[in-house]
Amino acid sequence: MYTFDYLNKNRLAPDFFDQKTLVIAKNLLGKYLVSTKNNFLQIGEIMETEAYIGTKDLASHARFGVTPRNKIMWGKPGFLYVYLVYGLHHLVNIVVEQEGFPAAVLLRSLKPIQGIDIKTNGPAKLCKAFNLTVANTGTNIITSNKIFIADLKNKPQKIITSPRIGIDYAAEPWKSKKWRFLAKKKTLQEY
């Protein structure tokens, strides 16, 4: 069993989020998403991510320019951007790169480690497990004691890349860019 103090001492430093999006998306694999929901510790190992980079990326919310919904993407790195799809499902992203450049990494799946009793093998499922909603947009995961990412030096055995999922609306070459990263340990269906 992990403790909050141990995980907090191993949280990611601010400069981790101020790198290139593709580097961050790969390097988040194996890190632990930590939440202290209702003073109850929840931990999930990040197993799958997707990168969204700049206004030219036709799969990114930034393609429309700044809107009330996506303006956080132009902010400082290390903040959460949570949005609702189809009016039903919340998805969580982490704003990355330098302030003023819209980039984010979507957390697609987690392996439950501690305090999670539902499957987290999809972006909506992991938001449900961690009770993340649009109200969490703007949360600073660098300083928050409610949600952050810890690095316990757990590296994937192999990283698989593939095109991003659910972006059929995006034109080429954006639709086919291999900006989805998956930690290959076990099949995600087991999570």
Rounded Cα gap, residues 95 and 146, in angstroms:
17
Instruction: Indicate whether 185 pLDDT > 70.
Output: no
Q: Over the Cα atoms of the chain, what is R_g?
A: 15
Contact (Cβ atoms closer than 8 angstroms) between residue 50 and residue 113: no
120, HSE (Cβ side, Cα atoms, 13 Å): 27
Per-residue pLDDT tens digits for 39-94? 799 999 999 999 999 999 999 999 999 999 999 999 999 999 999 998 899 999 99
Helical ranges in 94-187 per DSSP H? 123-129
Element (H or E) spanning 4, and its range?
A: helix 4-9
Rounded Cα gap, residues 169 and 78, in angstroms:
28
Q: Per-residue b/e over 109-124, b at no fewer than 16 CB within 10 Å?
A: bbbbbebbeebbbbbb
β-pair partners for 183: 159
Q: Quick one: what percent of the chain has pLDDT higher than 90?
A: 90
Dig out the tokens for 6 from the structure.
Answer: 């141990």
Is it true that the peptide bond before 14 is cis, omega within 30 degrees of 0? no
**What is the third-level CATH fold of 4-190?**
3-methyladenine DNA Glycosylase; Chain A (3.10.300)
pTM: predicted TM-score of the whole model, two decimal places? 0.94
Region of residue 20 (phi > 0: left; psi between -120 and 50: alpha; otherwise: beta): beta
Rounded Cα gap, residues 95 and 54, in angstroms:
11
Per-residue pLDDT tens digits for 84-140? 998 899 999 999 999 999 999 999 999 999 999 999 999 999 999 999 999 999 999
Phi, psi at 80, each rounded to 5°? -85, 140
